[in-house]
Chains A and B, each alone.
Chain A
Amino acid sequence: MSPETPGESVPPIASTVRRTALLITGLVLLTACGGGVSASDGEAREDAAAGFPVTLKNCGRTVTVDAPPRHAVSLNQGSTEILLSLGLADRLAGTATWTDPVMKGLEKDEATVPRIAENQPSSEKVLAEEPDFVSASFESTLGKGGVASRDRFEELGVPTYLSPADCVGKDNHGSSDGSRTGPLTMEPVYGEVRDLAEVFGVPERGEKLITSLEDRLDKATADIDASDATLLYWFANAEAPYLAGCCGAPGIITEELGAKNVFDDTHEEWPQINWETVADRNPDVLVIGDLTRKSQTAESAEKKIEFLESDPATKNLDAVRHKRYVLLSGQAMNPTIRTVEGVERVAAGLRSFGLAR
């Protein structure tokens, strides 16, 4: 609206037009406000929507969000998939760092959100979208060598959120000395869902999502007794493979199924172990990461299986000879909502190999 010069009176017709325009704009805004708004619809136009400002503790910082974000940016796939599952595609201005194909069922929504970068974007690229909220799954994405620090975003008035599963020793779930002393559970993931739902003003959708995940878990683990089965999780790299230690996301899968991780004496999340040690421990089932990112050798499951069946150190493993493979996406091996998918697939695999009584 242009400022009026003092002393000039507005012609009567123009002022009527202006008032009408305001009214129409207001109505349009009202109807544009999506579902999940509280009963006081008339207040939806104002910034102070019910329940806001939201304040939460996240990884040792206090995050305050004044109003439900309208153009948020999600910097990692895990966080993006939670937001898309909460039906928030229309509130996302951009996404980044894609390591796997989008979770099934979210493809249509994801196609409506522009990808800022396939890998890690520069800080300016993210800020050019003028986000009002930024979320990430990895601490390193919001740290040195990442996109930008949380402090930097806050200085510019953008609240940030980090997945609690990746706070090492800095939040209520993590241990205080910097590595996971106890195994991860789905709790931090549910916490992340709840937090994000609260921030976006859609808490009931969050509860719905959590309930559906819990149901899926119950179904997958019902009547399974896998206490005799030993598992090995292979994420990437053939020469010096990244295998799962006790307590990362694969630990959730193992724990839910009551099985054993062949490397559960290792507290590092993804240590690089050699194949001879693997042969020594002779796991029953090999859970293999099927990755589409080309930055290391042996990415796709196909390539990994090829390697296992040809390499002299591995081809005589029990699991290889009996072809007891379970293929998981990379996201399922991270602490995300797709870990549930991981539980489902490993359970199905164990049943099919006859290792689940």
Chain B
Amino acid sequence: MSRAEGGRGTPGDGLRATRVSREAGGRIVLDGVSIAPPPGATVGLLGPNGSGKTTLLRVMAGVLAPGAGVVTLDGRTLAETGRRAVARRVAVVDQHAVTQVDLSVLDVVRLGRIPHRRAWSPSGPEDEDAVREALAHTGLAGRAGQSWHTLSGGERQRVQIARALAQRPRELLLDEPTNHLDIQHQLELLSLVAALPVTAVVALHDLNLAAMFCDRVTVMKEGRVVAGGTPSEVITEELIADVYRVRAVVAPEGPEGRPSVRFLPGRALRGGPGHDEGAGP
């Protein structure tokens, strides 16, 4: 694994991916991707399906190994930091969480304390507090005893987020957390995430939500980063046409003057200059 160019960075840098590449089944999934979320910020990760968002998040979590490039946490590589130490800092919420085990909401949230407990030590008051807070934050305090299998998709997502919160992470990686939620819960969830004093990287489909809640936005296409910056800078009609192949109207009509996107129906646009015609994502 090659070191990050220009040195290892300094402590306090948080989670960073530097020129990360990964191949799978002969296909290039990530190609030299660098992302350095500023500590405390909420970064939206945008891009169409297959652009590599999920893979990038997994590589950043240390679940997948990059073929090239390096992921560092406060200047040290993930391998140097150690799995448990990484898990105490970085929490991940997947798109779909599936289990056959008959778990209660409380059981699932308690899983978040696993990185903090050694094999033979019993749970302590700190664990109870973390779990309680996580349940309160996600509005699940009254449902602690309910079985996982009786929850709706959206409720399950909230429980997973509570579990991630119970880890008391400083970095939070969320893979399309709003997929199964209704509008109210989507807004609630993203407000919560944005308000938390953690560095959050959130993969999103909805450009408006990204515009509303993210401090910064990174756009990926076919395994590469094609844009990065504030929502106002990045979310433009040209970018949408280029990356998403649809026509839209973008106006600074969102809260605090953030961009608001209105999609225009009609034929999908053909690829912009330099791209193959009709080539799929």
Asked if A and B touch directly (CB within 8 angstroms), the answer is no
Residues of B participating in the A interface, judged by any CB pair closer than 8 Å:
none
